[in-house]
Amino acid sequence: MGYEWDFAIVLRDFDLLWLGLVNTLKVTGLSLLFGVPLGLFLALLRLYGRWPIRLPAAFVIEFLRTTPPIAQLFWFFFALPILIGVEIDPFRASILTFSLQSSAFFAEVFRGGIQSIEVGQWEAAKAIGMNRNQTLRRIILPQAVKRMIPAFLERAIELMKTTTLVSTISYADLLYQANSIAQSTFRTIEVFTIAAAMYFVVIFACSVAIRRLEKHLARSGETIVH
């Protein structure tokens, strides 16, 4: 194979890739910021709402979980602006999509965590005169959240991987930057390999950190909910 590798050309544009990585982290971070509280809200609706609330909440969660993220993104970017008559830029469409998409998965993590807390905890709280909201806030959630941390972080990593889709609507994330550098330098294989390596470094570091944390939590006697 006579291909001559040349990483130098690509590394000259490394600041562009770096900017892409920063944008990837920005979309991931903001989506987490909105997605986690929204997930908790959806989980509570699904767990404790009466059926006119519970069923729509369950439908939203299941719909967002079983449709491809790319279809959701295209819907929010191409379809929603026509429907509401307001222009939505790629950045906003991405945040909107991934906040909603991840909230559905976080909702299920919350639900699993809350349901994993023994009934006795509820009964004990009731015995000392707490109502449901107090019990949730002071007794159940603090314990549940501790158990959910690894599952949360895993979802966050999945989210970061999914954000690569924003490149398809021209938001300048890492993959988009790699693609445009490839088109201007014709060093496709080098630039895609470097971009993949950059993703790997970030995501693998997070995975290793999660595994450590899981071991630590297991040692301190916390069960882990997936």
Partner 1 sequence: MDYRWDFSAVLVNRALLLEGLQNTLILGTTCLALGLFFGLFVGAARYSANRWLHDPASVFVEVFRNTPVLVQIMWFFFAFPIIAPFQINAFTAATLGLTLNTVAFSSEIYRAGLQSIARGQWEAGKALGMTYWQQMRRVILPQAIRRMLPAFMNRAVELFKMTSLASVIAYGELMHKAKVISTIAFNPIEMYTAVALIFFAILFPATVLVRRFETSRNVRS
Task: Give the Cβ contact number of residue 137 at 10 Å.
Answer: 11
Question: Does 192 participate in binding partner 1 (rule CB under 8 A)?
Answer: yes
Binding marks (x or -) toward partner 1, 23..62, rule CB under 8 A? ---------------------------------------x
Length of the chain: 226
Q: How many CB atoms lie within 10 A of CB 125?
A: 18
Q: What is the DSSP string of 158-192?
A: HHHHHGGGGGGGT---HHHHHHHHHHHH--HHHHH
- Tell whether residue 7 is a contact of partner 1 (CB under 8 A): no
**Among residues 9, 21, 153, 203, the one that binds partner 1 under rule CB under 8 A:** 203
* DSSP symbol at 135: I
Minimal distance, residue 142 CB to partner 1, in Å: 26
Residue of 120, 111, 118 whose CA lies nearest to 148: 111
CB nearer to partner 1: pick between 85 and 221:
85
Please give the residue ranges that form the binding site for partner 1 (CB under 8 A).
1, 3, 62-63, 65-72, 74-75, 78-79, 82-85, 160-162, 164-165, 167-168, 175, 179, 182, 188-189, 192-193, 195-196, 199-200, 203-204, 207
